[in-house]
């Protein structure tokens, strides 16, 4: 009977994403090494038992997997500063929400310093941030997107699948950085822009007693991390602006039909949206 291997997992950043990885790998019986610039968070993570030791220049080369779970620029800075100490054994995966800038920087650093780098984006999260909101089951049943150096390195892809298996992802999608950023502008970033803009209506302050699921759905992600999302939006500004322009165009169609009291046009617009939803989501 083959024994299940115990992985050494390095985690950079113990916010919601990194903290959830730490809790998931710890719960699955793997050794977790972590680093966070906030020593109080790192100390708490160790006291809680979810982190076994501090990730350092001395021990990161012994890790099987290093997950970089910080803002994009901080991830780039980490790769530049710590790249010489990573070594050839670990697979390094960043978990940032945009991929073009980060993946280019990561691939460049990997080439210079001799480690293996893969872009990544776990498609899971909540409106809350920080280690205290991290959950060991955050990734259970969620998709994971990866951007490998090449799509035909089967050994690397199988190694990534093996290393990520303990946290419970439902699927692993291989993508290019360009495809990822174009898609994420629509599926994630635009939703955050809309939610933030929607809650700014003065009516929002008077909504109690008049709202239900629709209001909650539309406003959930307005409770975001402004600094992080600003960095992500600006990293992907071309794709995000394109999606905002399309949304404004479509909203104008609804506004014009309502202003003209054109019920036929409004029914047509609403039916188009309903049909698309049925076709896309089943």
Residue pLDDT, tens place only, 79-137:
999 999 999 999 999 999 999 999 999 999 999 999 999 999 999 887 778 999 999 99
pLDDT of 18 higher than 60: yes
- Rounded Cα distance, 165 and 184, in Å: 23
Phi, psi of 66, rounded to the nearest 5 degrees: -120, 120
Average pLDDT score over the chain:
95
Element (H, E) at 237: helix 237-259
**What count of other Cβ atoms lies within 10 Å of the Cβ of residue 140?**
13
Rounded Cα distance, 50 and 20, in Å? 10
Q: Which two tokens stand for residue 87?
A: 């070594």
- Give the percent of the chain with pLDDT over 70: 99
Class of 180-281 in CATH: mainly alpha
Q: Inform me whether the pLDDT recorded for 170 exceeds 70.
A: yes
Task: Give start-end residues of each CATH 3.40.50.720 domain in the chain.
Answer: 8-175
How confident is residue 2, by pLDDT bands cut at 50, 70 and 90?
A: low
Q: What kind and span of H or E run contains 229?
A: helix 226-235
By CB atoms closer than 10 A (0-12, 13-18, 19+), residue 113 is: middle
- CA neighbours closer than 13 Å in the CB half-sphere of residue 34: 35
Delimiting residues of CATH 1.10.3660.10 domain(s) in the chain: 180-281
Q: What CATH number should be reported for the domain whose range is 8-175?
A: 3.40.50.720
**pTM score:** 0.90
């Amino acid at each position: 009977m083959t024994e299940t291997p115990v992985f050494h997992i390095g985690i950079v950043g113990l916010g919601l994403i990194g903290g959830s990885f730490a809790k998931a790998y710890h719960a699955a019986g793997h050794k977790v090494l972590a680093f966070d610039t906030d020593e109080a968070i790192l100390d708490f993570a160790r006291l809680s038992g979810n982190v076994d030791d501090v990730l350092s220049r001395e021990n990161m080369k012994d890790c099987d997997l290093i997950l970089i779970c910080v803002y994009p620029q901080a991830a780039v800075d980490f790769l530049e500063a710590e790249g010489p100490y990573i070594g050839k054994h670990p697979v390094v995966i960043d978990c940032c929400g945009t991929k073009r800038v980060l993946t280019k920087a990561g691939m460049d650093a990997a080439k210079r310093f001799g480690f293996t780098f893969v872009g990544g984006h776990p498609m899971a999260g909540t409106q809350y941030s920080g280690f205290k909101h991290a959950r060991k089951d955050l990734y259970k049943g969620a998709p994971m997107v990866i951007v490998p150096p090449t799509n035909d390195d089967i050994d690397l892809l199988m190694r990534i699948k093996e290393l990520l298996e303990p946290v419970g992802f439902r699927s692993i999608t291989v993508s290019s950085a360009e495809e990822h950023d174009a898609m994420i502008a629509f599926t994630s970033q635009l939703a955050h822009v809309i939610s933030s803009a929607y809650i700014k209506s003065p009516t929002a302050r008077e909504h109690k007693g008049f709202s239900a699921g629709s209001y909650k759905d539309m406003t959930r992600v307005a409770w975001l991390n402004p600094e992080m999302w600003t960095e992500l939006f600006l990293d992907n500004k071309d794709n995000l602006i394109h999606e905002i322009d399309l949304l404004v165009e479509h909203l104008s169609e609804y506004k014009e039909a309502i202003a003209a009291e054109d019920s036929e046009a409004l029914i047509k617009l609403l039916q188009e949206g309903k049909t698309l939803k049925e076709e896309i989501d089943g």
